[in-house]
Amino acid sequence: MARKSATQKRSTRSPRKRGPDNSVVVDINSHNSFLETYPVSAKAAPPLQAKTKSQSQYIAGIKAHKLTFGIGPAGTGKSYCAGAIAAEELEARRIEKIIITRPAVEAGENMGFLPGDLQEKFDPYFDAFRDCLNERLGKGVVECGLKNGRIVVSPMAYLRGKTFNDAFVVLDEAQNCTRSQLKMFLTRIGENCRVVVNGDIRQSDIGGASGLQDAIDRLSNLQSIYIHEFDHDDIVRSGMVKDILLRYEY
């Protein structure tokens, strides 16, 4: 039998790819692996560290409960902490996918005038989580996850009829949900699912009562649910943000 030349041998090997961040990406073909690729050159992110006592309680609450509500003003780290824990769960293979959603309600602007299809119009809302996931998982992993459905970013209305199994789900800006929307969302929770619902009830952009307040009133006594309230002293974004919010709200 004729031997294969060196060129032929090289051609039979699985090709290595390069991710968007120029790091080498290697295919993982294990059926049980939730990460189809990983960036070899990416440095491991440091463990999530709380910046305040309130953040520490919030992080502990998320890890100990199936459903957590994070309530409070902007800049307290609600979204970042939820995104970082979601990344940890995905990386540790305790879940199969991350789902990030929010109601498609504009704060004084109209999505209809933005270019592109609905997914492209919704993409800017993912930016805050994208930065967090890139930092925790690496840009190559995030881009691959978005393509293969391991990281799902979707308007809330598109989740109707779905069940959240083996997932970490984050609902952001929940103060803009109606009662029926939040009921629909919360009844999607399936097996091996952890859900975080974040919002600031005082910043609602919808007319009428907020579904977030309604859900908190209805569910606050359930043992499997944790409700964490941040206040202005917990703002970590910047001192200026804290001062501005206080001037607007008091």
**pLDDT bracket for residue 108 (50, 70, 90):** very low
| Amino acid (1-letter code) at residue 137 | L
Domain that holds residue 151: 52-249
Cα dihedral 124, 34, 38, 51 sign: positive
Is 42 inside a domain boundary? Answer: no
In tens, the pLDDT along 184-209 reads 999 999 999 999 999 998 888 777 78
Is 149 inside a domain boundary? Answer: yes
Total domain count for the chain? 1
Is 35 inside a domain boundary? Answer: no
**pLDDT bracket for residue 121 (50, 70, 90):** low
Residue with token string 């200026």: 240
Residue with token string 């997932």: 167
Is 14 inside a domain boundary? Answer: no
Is 28 inside a domain boundary? Answer: no
Is 89 inside a domain boundary? Answer: yes
Residue with token string 């294969």: 4
Residue with token string 């609602």: 204
Is 190 inside a domain boundary? Answer: yes
DSSP strand pairing (97-102 vs 151-155):
parallel
Overall size of the chain counted in residues:
250
In tens, the pLDDT along 148-182 reads 999 999 888 888 889 999 999 999 999 999 999 99
- The Cα–Cα gap between 237 and 240 comes to 8
Is 18 inside a domain boundary? Answer: no
- The Cα–Cα gap between 25 and 165 comes to 28
Residue 41 confidence (pLDDT) above 80? no
For 208, how many CA atoms within 13 A lie in the half-sphere containing its CB?
A: 6
Contact 79, 128 (CB under 8 A): yes
Residue 124 confidence (pLDDT) above 60? yes
DSSP-derived secondary structure letter, 5: P
Whether this model's pTM surpasses 0.85 = no
Residue with token string 């990406």: 25
CATH number of the domain at 123, please: 3.40.50.300
